[in-house]
Structure 1
Amino acid sequence: MKSFKSLLLLVVANLLIFVTLSISFTILINVVLPLFGVDLRASVRSADLLWALVIGFGGASISLLMSKHLARAGMQMQRIDAPQSAKEHLVYESVAQLANRLGVRMPEVWVYWNDEPNAFATGPGRNHSMIAVSSGLVNLLNDHEVQAVLAHEMGHVYNGDMVSTTLLQGLMNTFVFWLSMLAARQFDDRPMIAFVVSVVLQIGLSFLALIPITWFSRRREFAADRFAAEQVGVAPMISALQKLHQRAEAMPVVHDVVRDPMATAYISGSWRGWFATHPSLEARVAALQTLQNGYSYR
């Protein structure tokens, strides 16, 4: 039953969000806006909000449920069930020890062959997750640094970041679809214009919706770094990030947050500013050094 807890949480959260949005929009359309001379009661249909919720959270939830399959389909991976090499033992046993210590089900452990150092966690819940590491990562880092990176990924699993990200994505999708339909309703007598307005707004609003999504992504990276520091120590996490920064400086790789669905699965992102999926590696090191020096962590 534990494996269904995150899914139950997702369903309950969706219902609560729908009720909250329904009440809020009803008050806004029927009470608040008319006070300012804006009457949209004839244009807004309650069914639109329901459809927006179904489409918005439906798409995000399906992506969450399929996340492990999508990750494996996009890369040449091999699952580690019976470790053979020293590196495989290191990865598998590190994850197993953390899972046992945290009281969560052992995630699936996968490796894939890519010179770019990377590791990521995904899955629909803390008891139904997977962790994957690249050959480039285990070849670049020493054993303690690999353990720190794996602890960081287990932090994402333990903190339920996959589910919370899905809820945020679903909420943003709902707003995008609802506002697009609301604008298109103004052109019901001209269906072609309504279609164009809806498509243009969906594209534009989807881009703006990346701002809160990527902000949350950056926050969860800091949280996972702190989690790793608490589990295996600050020094190996700092050392791992410094090596990854040096590697990124020597061989920069661009990951497009708009076109790449795996953009948030990389250890570092190439975008900066509001649309950055990750804090800079320098900022992450600085935050860990603050923790190491005994000051409050951001």
Structure 2
Amino acid sequence: MMRILLFLGTNLAVIVVASITLRLLGVEGYLTEQGMNFNALLIFCFIVGMAGSMISLFMSKWMAKRGTGTVVITQPSNSTEKWLLDTVAELSQQAGIEMPEVGIFPAQQSNAFATGWNKNDALVAVSAGLLNRMRPEEVRAVLAHEIGHVANGDMVTLALIQGVVNTFVMFFARAVAHLVDNFLRSRSDGAGLGFMGYFAVVIVAEIVFGLIASAIVAWFSRFREYRADAAGAQLAGTGPMINALARLKAESDMPNQMPETLTAFGINAGQTRKIMERLFASHPPLDDRIRALKEAAYR
């Protein structure tokens, strides 16, 4: 539900920008006296849906820092921070990307995340708990996993997919509201839904279609975790990557201290076995990720 509320809130936040853009494109509106202009509606939904997703992408580093309390390391103050910077620099060079910003956030649960609007302007951060409890080779594997996300362009791809599904959620929600309005006009005194009724149908339809869209986005998010695990194994070794995931699994009972809006970015997620929760989970179960790495190692 939080995803849907954020989706609706983003639409409202960018509506002014979308309206200006639509006017520049010559699209004055999708509701006319002759009915609904579906071409104009599709353009409207595409601009609003993509705008919300792109704004979130460009703000992702700022939101991540604020949401997690991440402190970016500009000058290392101890040997651990120096090792962290050197390790990320080495892995980034191996992966063929620019050195990302590196930070530490104050969570006791072992966790890490990567975000940023492109692979050469990213942020990689680890929790204090991960540094305190994992062995250096395991920390390196986690960092390699996050570098894998960056090198694969996962943040950009996920934002594009989110923008596309936003477009169709908004389009079909308004199309359904238009059909309901026409049906009521043909069966009653011609009043139809009215402004508030039309708006209510749009909101309900967006929630329904938004749930379906969230499942699609979550499927891609799970797929990208397997790819990032494979990249981590390639950069840091399969054994350390498996050991790091096993260490994360051992901490699965600890409370997740990542903000809900950033859970999809963290490495330590996807523990549930409930069918519905797995459908909308951003990460596969850790057992499945470990199994995939072991199977790949024996090919």
TM-score range relative to shorter protein: 0.7 to 0.9
* Residue of 239, 252, 269 corresponding to 1:248: 252
Partner Cα separation in structure 1 for residue 55 and residue 169 of structure 2: 18
Partner Cα separation in structure 2 for residue 210 and residue 109 of structure 1: 30
Match of 2:296 in 1: 291
Partner Cα separation in structure 2 for residue 83 and residue 255 of structure 1: 24
The 5 Å alignment of 1:270-289 reads 270-271=271-272, 272-289=277-294
Provide the secondary structure at the position in 2 that maps to 1:127. Answer: coil
CA shift, 1:148, in A, is 0.3
Q: Which stretch has the larger CA shift, 73-82 or 167-176? A: 73-82
Distance 1:255 1:182, change over 3 A: farther
Match of 1:262 in 2: 262
Distance 1:138 1:212, change over 3 A: same
List gaps (5 residues or longer) in structure 1.
Answer: 1-40
Match of 1:162 in 2: 155
Partner Cα separation in structure 1 for residue 105 and residue 210 of structure 2: 32
* Residue of 28, 31, 48 corresponding to 1:55: 48
Partner Cα separation in structure 2 for residue 232 and residue 72 of structure 1: 26
The one-character-per-residue Cα deviations of 1:232-284 (angstroms, maximum 9, x if unpaired) are 110001111111101114x254979xxx2212012213554211110111111
TM-score normalized by structure 2? Answer: 0.79
Partner Cα separation in structure 2 for residue 181 and residue 230 of structure 1: 46
CA shift, 1:46, in A, is 1.3
Provide the secondary structure at the position in 1 that maps to 2:109. Answer: coil
Partner Cα separation in structure 2 for residue 79 and residue 163 of structure 1: 22
* Residue of 206, 209, 222 corresponding to 1:205: 209
Provide the secondary structure at the position in 2 that maps to 1:81. Answer: coil
Partner Cα separation in structure 2 for residue 197 and residue 270 of structure 1: 35
Contact 1:270/1:276, CA 8 A, preserved across alignment:
no
* Residue of 199, 220, 238 corresponding to 2:242: 238
Partner Cα separation in structure 1 for residue 64 and residue 258 of structure 2: 16
The one-character-per-residue Cα deviations of 1:171-196 (angstroms, maximum 9, x if unpaired) are 11000111111122232742222111
Match of 2:4 in 1: none
Letter in 2 for 1:89: K
TM-score normalized by structure 1? Answer: 0.80
The 5 Å alignment of 1:25-174 reads 43-174=36-167
Match of 2:172 in 1: 179
The Cα RMSD (Å) is 1.8
Provide the secondary structure at the position in 2 that maps to 1:262. Answer: helix
Match of 2:30 in 1: none
Contact 1:56/1:177, CA 8 A, preserved across alignment:
yes
* Residue of 214, 220, 234 corresponding to 1:216: 220
Provide the secondary structure at the position in 1 that maps to 2:156. Answer: helix
CA shift, 1:78, in A, is 1.3
Match of 1:6 in 2: none
Contact 2:117/2:156, CA 8 A, preserved across alignment:
yes
Contact 1:263/1:269, CA 8 A, preserved across alignment:
no
List gaps (5 residues or longer) in structure 2.
Answer: 1-33, 183-191
How many residue pairs are counted as aligned between the two chains?
250
Match of 2:231 in 1: 227
Contact 1:255/1:269, CA 8 A, preserved across alignment:
no
Partner Cα separation in structure 2 for residue 167 and residue 117 of structure 1: 29
Letter in 1 for 2:223: R
CA shift, 1:79, in A, is 1.1
Distance 1:254 1:95, change over 3 A: closer
Partner Cα separation in structure 1 for residue 195 and residue 72 of structure 2: 51
